[in-house]
């Protein structure tokens, strides 16, 4: 995977630099020299705002289906998100009229002809259907979201979708079953009968329907640019908060969703995660800022 260049101080200092501590000078340098996009064959990685990393699937001629090589490369981006303290939120979206139509079935056909088995092991297509992870990922669904693309979205933390987006699990029509991770997750989110409807018929439903059913969190008029912009606004709303709180809050919600035992999730948060939250600088800073009636100055999370 291509790596972005490390930030460097600008050759011409910011006019206020002489009166600021080094930490603030470095922050100014980051603002002057944002990270450049990193282009891969079928997607690119960008940094559209401070603390935000975005994957844009860019294979519109194939409706943004994902082959094995691309899947592995995108999975590495989520590892970067979790391991880079300066990154707090991820976004995934697509170019053109599709968000993602799942795995590349032409590649699958060649694999079938040679007897190769396509693994459904975690974390799944593009590292998302069975991702555990530490930090939130927002799906910005701009168009067709089919098969493995739907499986990816089912495990994202928030889903922003165009009103024109269409969702389906058409695997049964091709003799396949979506086993990469979405079936139990969608059942938890949508309920038994609605998930059965999608899986056993393979029919398409619109974003408004999935909003009513509880999967889509925000609806947006427009195409890929408008949906990506809306997702970025959500990400920036998150980044106004403590990055420690993002990690611990997300963990608590997902424990209840994934394990299904409410009291176990509450106990784990109280015994294991709350002490870690309290030890961090951001816990005291948020309270202090409230008392002093000012905006908090968050530090990157060490959790």
Rounded Cα distance, 83 and 159, in Å: 23
Catalytic status, residue 258: no
Per the CB < 8 A criterion, the answer to whether 48 and 89 are in contact is no
Distance CA 162, CA 159 (A): 10
Please say whether the beta carbons of 57 and 93 come within 8 A. Answer: yes
Give catalytic status of residue 50 as yes or no. Answer: no
Q: d(Cα 166, Cα 202) in Å, to the nearest integer?
A: 12
Give the residue from 110, 30, 60 showing the smallest Cα distance to 300: 30
The strand pairing partners of 45, in sequence order, are: 38, 55
Question: Which residue do the tokens 């200092």 mark?
Answer: 13
Options 171, 221, 226, 285, the catalytic residue: 171
Q: Which of 79, 151, 258, 292 is catalytic?
A: 151
Q: What is the dihedral of CA 103, 106, 111, 113, to 10 degrees?
A: 150
Catalytic residue numbers, as ranges: 151, 171
């Amino acid at each position: 995977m291509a790596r972005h260049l490390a930030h460097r101080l600008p050759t011409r200092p910011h006019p206020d630099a002489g009166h600021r501590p080094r930490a603030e000078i470095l922050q100014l340098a980051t603002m002057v020299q944002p990270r450049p996009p990193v282009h891969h064959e079928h997607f690119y990685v960008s940094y559209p705002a401070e603390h935000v990393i975005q994957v844009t699937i860019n294979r519109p001629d194939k409706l943004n289906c994902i082959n094995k090589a691309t899947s592995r490369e995108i999975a590495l981006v989520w590892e970067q998100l979790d391991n880079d303290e300066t990154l707090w939120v991820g976004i995934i979206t697509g170019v053109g009229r599709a968000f993602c139509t799942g795995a590349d079935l032409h590649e699958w056909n060649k694999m079938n002809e040679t007897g190769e088995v396509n693994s459904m092991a975690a974390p799944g297509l593009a590292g998302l259907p069975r991702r555990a992870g530490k930090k939130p990922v927002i799906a910005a669904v701009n168009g067709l979201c089919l098969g493995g693309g739907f499986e990816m979205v089912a495990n994202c933390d928030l889903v922003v979708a165009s009103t024109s987006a269409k969702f389906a699990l058409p695997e049964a029509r091709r003799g396949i079953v979506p086993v990469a991770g979405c079936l139990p997750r969608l059942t938890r989110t949508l309920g038994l009968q609605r998930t059965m409807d999608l899986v056993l018929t393979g029919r398409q439903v619109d974003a408004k329907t999935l909003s009513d059913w509880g999967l889509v969190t925000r609806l947006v008029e427009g195409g890929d640019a408008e949906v990506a912009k809306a997702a970025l606004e959500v990400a920036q709303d998150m980044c106004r908060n403590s990055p420690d709180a993002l990690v611990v809050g997300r963990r608590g919600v997902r424990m209840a969703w994934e394990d299904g035992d409410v009291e176990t999730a509450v106990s784990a948060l109280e015994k294991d995660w709350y002490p870690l939250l309290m030890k961090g600088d951001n816990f005291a800073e948020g309270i202090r800022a409230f008392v002093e009636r000012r905006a908090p100055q968050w530090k990157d999370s060490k959790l």
